[in-house]
Amino acid sequence: MRRIVALSIVALVFNGWISKEVMAQPLVPLPPSPPVPLSNIQTPAKVMLGKQLFFDPKLSVNGSISCAFCHMPKAGYADPRPVSLGVGGKRGGRNAPSVLNAAYLDRQFWDGRAGSLEEQAIGPLTNPVEMENPTNQSVVDRLRKIPAYKKSFQEVFGGDVSIDRIGEAIAAYERTLLTPNTPYDRFLMGKKTALSASAQKGFTLFKGKARCVLCHSGALLSDQAYHNLGVPQTGTLSIDVGRYAFSHNPSDKGTFRTPPLRNVALTSPYMHDGVFRTLGKVVDFYDKGGGSSPYKTKDPLLRPLHLTKQEKIELVDFLLALTGETAAEKNQP
């Protein structure tokens, strides 16, 4: 089946629908397991400790919010609010992306500033609009005063609480949040009835006229690259410079990582600032060729698509078929 998908992409390239860069990102099912660093091998006890930390508001400066406050299991481990809130109701400038399948990503956050799940896990601890701790050490000192945590860290790591071990435990838990076996995966593996007739037409549009596969490719349906789409800014930042704030590369102004599309039906609202509530609105945005940008970095791949009303419905039907089997329910405390 993979060969058939690859050949169909080749045909689309020669027909002028998509560019040759897509060939580096074949459309394949989700791999059975994500990469795990040798420095942080998975163990059941470490995963359980990470799960406890993920749902514990004691990680925030005043004990009011946990990781799960913005990465809600019932919202696909994303945030149903347009922009995420921190301690005291402070509004951030972006929507928290889903943790589901984040273990497969090369880099974390919308701007890719974290190079691992471990780094990502500790980033919010001292962010002034998230958990607002003055230092990482203040979090460590707080947990060290809790006997149950001191015991768990000793059992899991053979030592005391540390900021690196906090990140490693949370990352170990997040690596269990995988969603394989979507209808789309089953279709790729040869089960023709896994997708409805409408979703199959949507898949054809996805690979062709709608041009989605130009950026939403690979196993995650993301090229993991950064693009400026001209998304309207609705967060607290009047202008969000995107990856540029981290890279300081002028070509990155206004760019954000292509979000993976797996489980996209669960993770409304959409875009880095949650500007669109429905998948239909997202499709409309792309159909118009994206939005305007204050920077000259808007991606040239964007162009009006001239989709019909029926084609838009079919495309959304395909996106609805990207929801996988999730352990979200049993991973809650």
- For the question of residue 130 being annotated catalytic, the response is yes
10 Å Cβ neighbour count for 235?
18
- Give the containing element (helix H, strand E) for 279: helix 279-287
**What residue has token string 């149950």?**
148
Q: Which residues of 12-45 are buried (b: 16+ CB within 10 A; e: fewer)?
A: beeeebbeeebeebebbbbeeebeeeeebeeeee
User: Cβ(212)–Cβ(25) under 8 Å?
Assistant: no
Find all residues with CB under 8 Å of 88, minimum gap 6, and list them.
Answer: 62, 64, 132
Q: Which of 118, 130, 311, 314 is catalytic?
A: 130
Q: N- to C-terminal Cα distance for the chain?
A: 39
Cβ contacts of 5 within 8 Å, gap of 6 or more: 26, 27, 28, 188
Q: Which residues are catalytic?
A: 130
